[in-house]
Amino acid sequence: MHEKLQRITALAKIIFLDGLRRHALIGLILLALLAELFGLIFVDFFGHDLGRATSDFLFSTMWITGMIFLFFHAVQVIAWDEEHKVIFGIISRPISRNEYLLGVALGLISLLAVLQLVLGGIAYGSLIWLQANLSISYFDAFNSFGFVLTWLGLLLSQSVILSAILLFSGIVRGGFAVLILSVAYYFICSGLPVAREHIAHQVALGKGGEGAASIFTILTLLFPDLNRMDFKNEVLTQALTIPLSDVAIQSALAGAYIILTMLLACYAYGRRDIQ
């Protein structure tokens, strides 16, 4: 078990360092930092709720940067290894396909976490600076714990998407196919809660739709509601407005989903022809 973990972490380290060496990723980080600085200009469009507008903008920048990382780098990693025959070099070593997939997952999650840590640190500093320089009527409260919670929620949401990307990478061949499937998956995750809410409203009005409501609930098992981990409104509150038990349940749910998806990905990848 210890040796397995060593092999996984060694591969994760390679994936991590390889990601850091990519100029596109360095460019992405620089662009995101510039975008965060642009947040100070963005805030100029607002007249009152300056703290909230800035916080939303910063977290949106982090989200968009994370999604660019997932859709333009993460979807390519396994496909790139396969297309450049690197995969044969790797699995000719005493490492199983499962360990390979888990190593890639760990490496990519580490990259994503570091990326978000840098952007989150800048965002935190920006908000602290802004609060110190604005009157209380423009920026009345900043909750550091709420900020950390929001950051963790963002990272967890994107880890869910990453696990789905690795599942698709394990099932199909080629970066483009994985990209198409991943984008479709993301849009279903975004759209499903809206459809579910609409049907729930119909059911509440007695207009039927109970069957569709059940189908949508089952679909939510496969396509989780990522908005449940959006805690942006907690950044600017005196005290948290959502119970911590809810946060714990949502986080545990997301964690279990990631583990299940990775197990499925390992199962699929272990049986796939990689020629």
Partner 1 sequence: MTIRWTATVMVAFIYAILFVKTDYVGTKGDPNYLPATMTLTVHQASTGYLHQLDAERLYIKVMTFKDATTSKATTPPYADALSNHFEIMQHLHPYLFDTYWATEAFLPWYGDDYVRRANTILQAGINYQPNRWEIPFFLGWNHFYYLGDSHTAYDYLIQSSKISGNNFMRHLAAVLAAKEGNLEAGLTWLRTMRNSEQDEKKRKYMSRDVDAYEKAIMVQKKVHQFRNEKGQSPKKLQELIPEYLDSLPEIKSNFEIVYEGGIVSLQRPNYRDIRPSSKRGNTSQPE
Contacting positions for partner 1 (CB under 8 A):
42, 45-49, 52-53, 56-57, 60, 63-64, 154, 157, 186-187, 189-191, 193-195, 198, 226-227, 230, 232-233, 236
127/226 with CB nearer partner 1: 226
Cβ of residue 45: shortest distance to partner 1, in angstroms? 5
Q: How far apart are CA 20 and CA 149, in angstroms?
A: 26
Three-state SS string over 159-219 comes to: HHHHHHHHHHHHHCCCHHHHHHHHHHHHHHHHHHHHHHHHHHHHHHCCCCCHHHHHHHHHH
Cβ of residue 79: shortest distance to partner 1, in angstroms? 25
Cβ of residue 199: shortest distance to partner 1, in angstroms? 12
Q: CA dist 57 to 236, 243, 275, Å?
A: 13, 25, 44
64/244 with CB nearer partner 1: 64
Residue with tokens 């407005």: 241
Cβ of residue 73: shortest distance to partner 1, in angstroms? 19
74/189 with CB nearer partner 1: 189
Cβ of residue 224: shortest distance to partner 1, in angstroms? 12
10/141 with CB nearer partner 1: 141
Burial 113-144 (b: 16+ CB within 10 A, else e): eebbebbbebbbebbeebbeeeeeebbeebbe
Q: Are 182 and 168 in contact (CB under 8 A)?
A: yes
Q: How far apart are CA 246 and CA 188, in angstroms?
A: 23
220/233 with CB nearer partner 1: 233
Cβ of residue 160: shortest distance to partner 1, in angstroms? 12
Q: CA dist 11 to 99, 188, 202, Å?
A: 9, 32, 50
Q: What is the DSSP string of 67-121?
A: HHHIIIIIHHHHHHHHHTTHHHHHHTSS--HHHHHHHHHHHHHHHHHHHHHHHHH
56/82 with CB nearer partner 1: 56
1/239 with CB nearer partner 1: 239
The encoded tokens of residue 38 equal 């642009």
Cβ of residue 216: shortest distance to partner 1, in angstroms? 13
Cβ of residue 152: shortest distance to partner 1, in angstroms? 14
The encoded tokens of residue 180 equal 């198409």
116/157 with CB nearer partner 1: 157
